[in-house]
Structure 1
Amino acid sequence: MPFNIDFFGSDFSTFFVNNNGNLTFVNPLGQFTPSPFPITNQPMIAPYWGDVDTRGTGAVYVASPNESTVVVTWDQVGYYNSQTDLLNTFQVVLRDRPDTGLDGNFDIEFRYGQLQWTTGDASGGSGGLGGTPAQAGFDAGDGINFFTLPGSRTSEVLNLANISNVSLDTPGLWSFAIRNGETPGSTPDNPLLPVIIEDGFQFDFNITEPDRPFFIDPDVAVGYNYIVDSGPNMTSVLLPTGIGDGFYELWSDSSGGNCTDFVSSGTTLTGGTTFNFASPLRCFSVRGIETSAGLDPTNPLAFVTGLTFESAGSVSMRQIPITVFVDDGTTQVPEPTTSAFIYAGLMGLGLLARKAK
């Protein structure tokens, strides 16, 4: 690479491009059936770890369009054994980000142009489906730190081309920031970005230290409902400072565990102060964000929330905005987060692919 990266405390300046949809940093990897993360002794960034077969059609391209960017593209690749009836096109982009404070900081982007197959014949698949499907994400290789994209190792992995953690307008685009060698969600300055869904935000992540806050970052309206769909319940919440008057209202679930209706608990939360729940909660609501605060819905650090959980494990949760009506009678709904460099990158995707060929 034309730059160094700090990947979970290990510095790398070279990598291996493996045919089966991933990059590794210590040794090359020929394994075609994906093992579930975490995997020890194998730091990896995997846009689509599956049984890629380029003998029938397609190819893998590597490019460095400038000194701060590396791009690897799996273009129109089939699956084992030399099958070309279904084809996948996907890409990983590594961006050097010393401007964020430290040498070694970098961004990972996954881009999915077309996903039609999940599994090669040697991974138990038939006709490109079934068996052990592909996995996407990144893994520190330490057995602890990793992140797996939703749908991995299931048939739903194909849906990565239709959803995004950037915006509803950029399906197939995923962005992650690695800062100070730590995974997104480790600090308020580097929260985990959610999957953008029609009615809010979907978070899927793994808890390794239950008492350590995990920071999630959606946009805001006047409040949010926090709902754990699976995994350990929440034990505390830490809300940001500097928003309006700095005080918030805690609302409790009144629907008998269905998380469909909330009532005021009479409890005031103070920004910057951790509030411990009397017992672990599957859902709660935060209200009282003043419209006069004028939060910019395009600001990716608008309302960072810290949560702790009752145990370790995988968490799937949502944070759903509570909307308000403005004077003209229309509904004021936060827009999904976007970034100028994302759009610039999208516009350059086709040019880069053609140049690589």
Structure 2
Amino acid sequence: MKKSLIAMAVFAACASGTAAADTLLSGLGGDRGFGTRIMEPNDDESSERLALPFQINFFGNAYNNYWVNNNGNISFSGPLEDFTPALFPISQAAMIAPYWADVDTRNQVDNLPNPFMNNVYLANPDSKTVVVTWDTVGYYNQHNDKQNTFQLVLRDQSATSGRAGDFDMEFRYGQLQWTTGDASDGSNGVGGQPAVAGWNAGAVTNSYSLIGSGTQNVVGLVNDSNVGTDGVWRFQVRSEELPGSAPYNPILPGNIDDGTAGWVFENIPVGTGTPVWIDPIVATGYDYAISNGPLVNGVTLLPGVGDGRYDIWLWQGGEWQLFAGDVAGGEHIEFGQSVDKFRVTGIETSAEVNPLSPVAFSTGLWFDSIGNATVTQTALTVEVSPVPEPATYGMLGAGLAVLAMARRRRRG
């Protein structure tokens, strides 16, 4: 239950976001096609302990049971009533949160064309899939003038990977119109401490907040994607592959930038010996700058974009100096020094990579020490005639499909 309600000035309402109608999984039975209603209308409550149809290895912790929490997440060590979100990592509990915010489903009357809306549903369509749906839910205190609809999908991938506990998690967004409940310093569903999407497994290296989390821009998840379908986000949980360890599972920007300063990847955990892959939009080249944390001493770039060859520049003596020309994508290029700024050029306009197109260009950054770094990646563009988006790009290694290069809208 809420302990306090903080009065505040009225904020402008968030622009509503609505994804394609096929974003949500449906046809799962029940009143709304989302399965069984898992709890009565409530504020801050949770389901009973539920059995997973398959065991998951959640970054080193094996779980067979879980709780569905009204406030937009599932947890594994017990029910979770926390209604004010925080950017991950946090110490409270292991959780997966498609949209952690102050959900209130008690108002079953106002603004609902269907009496079974504003509820939380659960479906297990087969032995390898769990689907939790927060359907047209309102926000505290009993408001539903703005409504959010989103899903969490867990898929067992142990048969595919050959490792017990491997799974995928999908966040699916049908509609996002509010970010904040009244007791989280919100007013009219916005302001205060906005929703957070992502997961928390108890450590910096295996916890992650999606783009826009903790800001009003979190509603942009409904019109964005890392797999090519607006409103759908898919992440692989593999025992040896944390986000950022491969180009098909990269670290995404921590906020939605307006395009004037590039993409900001804040406080990402880095180490030595392996690259950390980050992923913004593409253009003819990029500037990279490290504002804090370990410095960069090498880079790996993608093959198959244009002719797959690039020029690398280092910032030295107050100007750009060519370090290596015509280097091949897929190779680890060592700088022989640690730098806080470098540039990559050489993406041909003939490759038809539209600077305004939301097609990803993953970059593997090699760091000189262990720590947390903040990286800014700024696109270099040229004036060209409008061109279509390229259909495919190359592979980093045999068998590695670069899924991260699927369509994403331009952020901003």
Pair in the same fold by TM > 0.5: yes
Among candidates 308, 324, 327, match of residue 366 of structure 2: 308
* Aligned partner letter, 2:236: A
1-structure distance, mates of 2:323, 2:190: 49
1:68 is aligned to 2:124: no
Among candidates 44, 47, 50, match of residue 98 of structure 2: 47
Matches within 5 A, 1:84-233: 84-98=144-158, 99-167=160-228, 170-180=229-239, 182-187=241-246, 190-192=249-251, 204=265, 206-211=267-272, 213-216=275-278, 224-228=285-289, 232=293
- Does the C-alpha gap of structure 1 residues 152 and 240 become closer, same or farther in structure 2, counting only changes over 3 Å? closer
Using structure 1 for the length normalisation, give the TM-score: 0.73
Aligned pair count reads 323
Structure 1, 188-197 or 174-183: larger mean CA deviation: 188-197
- Is the Cα contact below 8 Å between 1:6 and 1:180 reproduced in 2? yes
Using structure 2 for the length normalisation, give the TM-score: 0.65
Matches within 5 A, 1:16-27: 16-27=67-78
- Does the C-alpha gap of structure 1 residues 194 and 37 become closer, same or farther in structure 2, counting only changes over 3 Å? closer
Structure 1, 78-87 or 270-279: larger mean CA deviation: 270-279
Among candidates 264, 277, 282, match of residue 341 of structure 2: 282
- Is the Cα contact below 8 Å between 1:150 and 1:204 reproduced in 2? no
Write out per-residue CA displacement over residues 213-238 of structure 1, whole angstroms, 9 at most, x where no aligned residue: 212467989x6425349655751334
- Is the Cα contact below 8 Å between 1:50 and 1:134 reproduced in 2? yes
- The equivalent residue for 2:390 is 334
- Is the Cα contact below 8 Å between 1:166 and 1:336 reproduced in 2? no
CA apart distance, 1:263: 7.4
- Give the gaps of 5 or more residues in structure 1: 293-301, 343-357
- Does the C-alpha gap of structure 1 residues 316 and 80 become closer, same or farther in structure 2, counting only changes over 3 Å? farther
- Is the Cα contact below 8 Å between 1:250 and 1:285 reproduced in 2? yes
- Is the Cα contact below 8 Å between 1:235 and 1:277 reproduced in 2? no
- Does the C-alpha gap of structure 1 residues 209 and 198 become closer, same or farther in structure 2, counting only changes over 3 Å? closer
* Aligned partner letter, 1:64: N
2-structure distance, mates of 1:100, 1:291: 38
1-structure distance, mates of 2:248, 2:213: 27
2-structure distance, mates of 1:233, 1:163: 30
1-structure distance, mates of 2:264, 2:163: 27
Write out per-residue CA displacement over residues 65-120 of structure 1, whole angstroms, 9 at most, x where no aligned residue: 12211111100100111111111111111111121342221111111111111111
Secondary structure at the residue paired with 1:2? Answer: strand
* Aligned partner letter, 1:307: L
- Give the gaps of 5 or more residues in structure 2: 1-51, 109-117, 352-359, 394-401, 407-412
CA apart distance, 1:280: 1.9
Write out per-residue CA displacement over residues 184-223 of structure 1, whole angstroms, 9 at most, x where no aligned residue: 2124574446799999x957464223435212467989x6
CA apart distance, 1:27: 1.6
Write out per-residue CA displacement over residues 287-345 of structure 1, whole angstroms, 9 at most, x where no aligned residue: 378989xxxxxxxxx986421347744645447587999xxx97464348997xx9xxx
